[in-house]
Amino acid sequence: MSELEGNCLVCQSGGPTAVINASLAGVIEEALNHECIEEIYGGLNGVVGVLNEDLVDLAAESQQVIRLLKSTPGSALGTCRYTFKKEEDLERALEVFKAHDIRYFFYIGDSESMAMIDKLDELAKSEGYEMRILGIPKTINNDISATDHTPGYGSMIKHVATTVREMAADNESIGKGDYVSILEVQGRNSGWIAAGSALAKRRDHPHDAPHIILLPEVVFNPEKFIADVQKVLAREKFCLVVTGEGLVDMNGNYVSAKASSSDAFGHVQLGGAGEFLRGVIEANLGVSARSCKLGVAGRAAAHNASQADSDEAYLAGSAAVIQAVENGKSGKMITLQRAEADSYKCETGWVDLADVPATSKQLPADWINDDGVSMNFPFVKYATPLIQGEVPIVWENGLPVFAKLKGARVDKVLAAYEM
Amino acid sequence: MSELEGNCLVCQSGGPTAVINASLAGVIEEALNHECIEEIYGGLNGVVGVLNEDLVDLAAESQQVIRLLKSTPGSALGTCRYTFKKEEDLERALEVFKAHDIRYFFYIGDSESMAMIDKLDELAKSEGYEMRILGIPKTINNDISATDHTPGYGSMIKHVATTVREMAADNESIGKGDYVSILEVQGRNSGWIAAGSALAKRRDHPHDAPHIILLPEVVFNPEKFIADVQKVLAREKFCLVVTGEGLVDMNGNYVSAKASSSDAFGHVQLGGAGEFLRGVIEANLGVSARSCKLGVAGRAAAHNASQADSDEAYLAGSAAVIQAVENGKSGKMITLQRAEADSYKCETGWVDLADVPATSKQLPADWINDDGVSMNFPFVKYATPLIQGEVPIVWENGLPVFAKLKGARVDKVLAAYEM
């Protein structure tokens, strides 16, 4: 098959991960290997940059910067939460592709992004404009179906599990059966991230922290929670609780829903799930409790990213280019698959964009122990390979240095677009 | 001078730091160098372990474990917030010292601890029991006077500044002049930790994050805060705010004081300063705001500890042993001093325990810029050397491994004590 000649465009979308730029580096470096790809462009802020024709010349970036992308958090090209709102958006995107001879379009994003670029792929086909459109999955939430796991998840849970180990060492030295601490992690609708904290337990040490993992998948029962904390405090010096931010009560409401009646200076604003649990403990158990909330600092913690995750993020990016160029694939999302082997090995595959479900991939119920607050061996077996290795960081003057793209603009050739 | 012969006892007190165990390692390894020191004991949970005669044999620990202490968070010997409550406590401690022939007592702690061991030193002298009592400073808060800085502070602000850089990379890729994020750090009565976030700015980039640093030293004015955030959002894609937990209003009250009326399940429990600020922003500016709270996870973040800080913590521990053994010093606290040199070099000194003020060392007012929300060059010059270098971590299966002391108990020889 003769290779399609033209330019390449890559964008990033949705919430950043610690390794989303490794996928970007994978696309850029692989694209350089293929002569059929002439220019390598980046779109600023996801499809918003496509619609506004805000393109930058990625081949003009230094190799140093491209290498540094592998340890840089955030989305180096900027991101967006925009998905096409109207038919005109699709047509405009295609117009931009044609104007810049974009024949390869790579979109790093989540399930919603995949549905969007699928429409774009259909339109290009129906108009007879030959191009390749591929999705590269990313999300800290690990909730994209059709891929074994998602680039971004491994680094997220490596940092969460590291934090739990460190808090445990700290708390154990303080507690005398009277100290509770709570770590709130991201994950509003799924417990994948909170579940990952289970990796902090040493093998065959089920009583290690985290002692209680609260998942959005398990209805929060305050009486059981209090009893669980009491049980841990009777056994251990301290009790470490990990909670996802989206804890729900028996009516399906978030336990920490924001008060809608906050006054001008926010005096009745409620905290998150962690602060809520702190209140529950202090009001009912008369012991001291403290909460920490990783929030966006967690997903951005590139200084503690997983090498395996980073490598796989990069691999997903380069595989997209290879599938598009060498195999002429379009309308697919790259997937990560476990190779059939004695030890963990990750391979890439692909799935039709249309077959990526919009619904979130669920944490398997049978990976949660009967106690509802801990994970069993199948989960640990699944997640452990994803956190292996440490991404080397470039330190300067005691702090990590991150890549900043020069971002040389590609000349606009079209009239402005009204979004 | 002939060296005093006998046993050595070391304890840890107060809140842990990322490097408090490096000081412990410094004491143990230096003590091994001196033949006049026979046994090396550790007291469990600070002076509580002394009073209860809960001593462990530290010389029996493996060299591997002692080495691993240098990268282990928490207080490996356990800690306490107990200070002597009555005259009998002092007498009991001395009785324990005599019973175990303790001639060297090293206490790793904060200002309050220094006042306590000073009394112990006086009692030993007045009773004619020859021994050496030395304090080794530690605290993330950097608020002990009489020392240029405190072991524990450098690692704390290295992690805070790293987190700010990472959040900035993340937030910059999302914001369009409409994104505010808040990082709450420890420091209830002093802004030393929040101030340290200023190191995240690159040299000659005053507009880098953190854009606004809120210090307990500067009265919180909501109108000015809102105006400051608006000014940043007009200039930058995002606004990153760092706040100490102890933000106070014009009446000297904490802005985020806990609601005292929380119900059984904590429904009206307020969050901390970060959540409070989020409320202020969302109610007044109509933009999205998110808060993160490092809490104890910050001080425990040994995976991102400063090598300079760790080295100095170790040095303070070993210097205490050297001063006690070789110079016969007692009733002193080891201090860290900047050597007079072109580049930063840290030396140890000592100060009489009686001269360590109980009051907190203040962040110099003239290190805060006139805008009240940023730090000037003298602060940056002061703090930068403290975050240099990265402590090597032992990783196993993707997570840091920490030291656990075997803790072989020393036989008790006294009757139990009623605390």
Q: A306 contacts in B (CB within 8 Å)? A: 398
Q: B209 contacts in A (CB within 8 Å)? A: none
**Which of B183, B226, B258, B265 has the most A C-beta neighbours within 10 Å, making it the best mutation to test the interface with A?**
B265
- Closest CB to A165: pick one of B282, B387, B402: B402
Q: What is the pLDDT of residues A14-49, one digit of tens each?
A: 999 999 999 999 999 999 999 999 999 999 999 999
Are residues B143 and B160 both part of a single domain?
no
**Which of B296, B381, B391 has the most A C-beta neighbours within 10 Å, making it the best mutation to test the interface with A?**
B296
For tokens 């730090």, name the residue. Answer: B375
CA closest to A261 among chain B residues = B283
Residue B57 and residue B391 in contact, taking contact as beta carbons nearer than 8 Å: no
Q: Is B303's CB within 8 Å of A304's CB?
A: yes
CA closest to A401 among chain B residues = B165
The answer to whether position A384 is within a domain reads: no
CATH number at residue B395: 3.40.50.450
**Which of A80, A293, A306, A343 has the most B C-beta neighbours within 10 Å, making it the best mutation to test the interface with B?**
A293
- Closest CB to B165: pick one of A165, A279, A399: A399
Task: Starting at the earlier edge strand, list the strands of the sheet with B6-12.
Answer: B55-57, B37-43, B6-12, B102-109, B132-137, B332-338, B346-352
Cα-based distances in Å from A184 to A210, A251, A291, A316, A321: 12, 21, 7, 30, 37
Q: Is B170's CB within 8 Å of A74's CB?
A: yes
Token readout for B258 is 């806990």
pLDDT at B260: 37
Are residues B190 and B281 both part of a single domain?
yes
Are residues A220 and A325 both part of a single domain?
no
Q: Omega of the bond prior to B151 within 30 degrees of 0, cis?
A: no
Are residues A160 and A141 both part of a single domain?
no
Q: Is A398's CB within 8 Å of B158's CB?
A: yes
Q: B12 contacts in A (CB within 8 Å)? A: 173
| Cα dihedral across residues B298, B303, B304, B307: positive or negative | positive
Are residues B39 and B113 both part of a single domain?
yes
Please give the Cα distance from A213 to A198 (Å, whole number).
8
Q: pTM for the whole thing?
A: 0.96
* pLDDT by position in tens, chain A (length 419): 579 999 999 999 999 999 999 999 999 999 999 999 999 999 999 999 999 999 999 999 999 999 999 999 999 999 999 988 899 999 999 999 999 999 999 999 999 999 999 999 999 999 999 999 999 999 999 999 999 999 999 999 999 999 999 999 999 999 999 999 999 999 888 999 999 999 999 999 999 999 999 999 999 999 999 999 999 999 999 999 999 988 888 888 888 765 433 434 444 444 689 989 998 999 999 998 999 999 999 999 999 999 999 999 999 999 999 999 999 999 999 999 999 888 999 999 999 999 999 888 999 999 999 999 999 999 999 999 999 999 999 999 999 999 999 999 999 999 999 98
Please give the Cα distance from A347 to B263 (Å, whole number).
52
Question: Total structural domains in chain A?
Answer: 2
Domain boundary among B299, B328, B343: B299
Strands in B263-405 per DSSP E: 288-293, 332-338, 346-352, 395-396, 399-400
Distance to chain B for A74, nearest Cα, Å: 4
DSSP conformational letter for A390:
B
The answer to whether position B412 is within a domain reads: no
Are residues A131 and A235 both part of a single domain?
no
Residue-number span of the structural domain to which B55 is assigned: 6-151+303-358+391-400
Residue % of chain B over a pLDDT of 70: 96
Please give the Cα distance from B215 to B205 (Å, whole number).
21
| B112: region left, alpha or beta (phi > 0 left; psi from -120 to 50 alpha) | alpha
Are residues B147 and B158 both part of a single domain?
no
**Which of A13, A162, A397 has the most B C-beta neighbours within 10 Å, making it the best mutation to test the interface with B?**
A162
The answer to whether position A342 is within a domain reads: yes
Q: A11 contacts in B (CB within 8 Å)? A: none
Q: A300 contacts in B (CB within 8 Å)? A: 163, 166-167, 169-170
Domain boundary among A299, A314, A340: A299
Q: A163 contacts in B (CB within 8 Å)? A: 297, 300-301
Domain boundary among A299, A316, A346: A299
CA closest to B380 among chain A residues = A397
Are residues B291 and B348 both part of a single domain?
no
The answer to whether position B199 is within a domain reads: yes
Distance to chain A for B319, nearest Cα, Å: 25
State yes or no: pLDDT of B257 exceeds 70: no
Q: What is the pLDDT of residues A80-112, one digit of tens each?
A: 999 888 999 999 999 999 999 999 999 999 999
Cα-based distances in Å from B275 to A254, B157, B164: 17, 21, 17
Are residues B164 and B240 both part of a single domain?
yes
Are residues A283 and A212 both part of a single domain?
yes
Q: Is B269's CB within 8 Å of A263's CB?
A: no
Please give the Cα distance from A241 to A229 (Å, whole number).
9
The answer to whether position B119 is within a domain reads: yes
CA closest to A280 among chain B residues = B265
pLDDT at B341: 85
- Cα radius of gyration rounded to whole Å, chain A: 23
The answer to whether position B74 is within a domain reads: yes
Residue A331 and residue A116 in contact, taking contact as beta carbons nearer than 8 Å: no
Token readout for B385 is 């050397």
Distance to chain B for A183, nearest Cα, Å: 8
The answer to whether position A247 is within a domain reads: yes
Residue A160: alpha-carbon gap to chain centroid: 13
**H-only helix segments in A175-306:** 192-196, 222-235, 273-285, 295-299
The answer to whether position A374 is within a domain reads: no
Are residues A202 and A118 both part of a single domain?
no
Distance to chain B for A96, nearest Cα, Å: 22
Q: Is A266's CB within 8 Å of B276's CB?
A: yes
What kind and span of H or E run contains A41? strand A37-43
Distance to chain B for A297, nearest Cα, Å: 6
The letter for the amino acid at A24 is L
CATH number at residue B273: 3.40.50.460
Are residues A194 and A115 both part of a single domain?
no
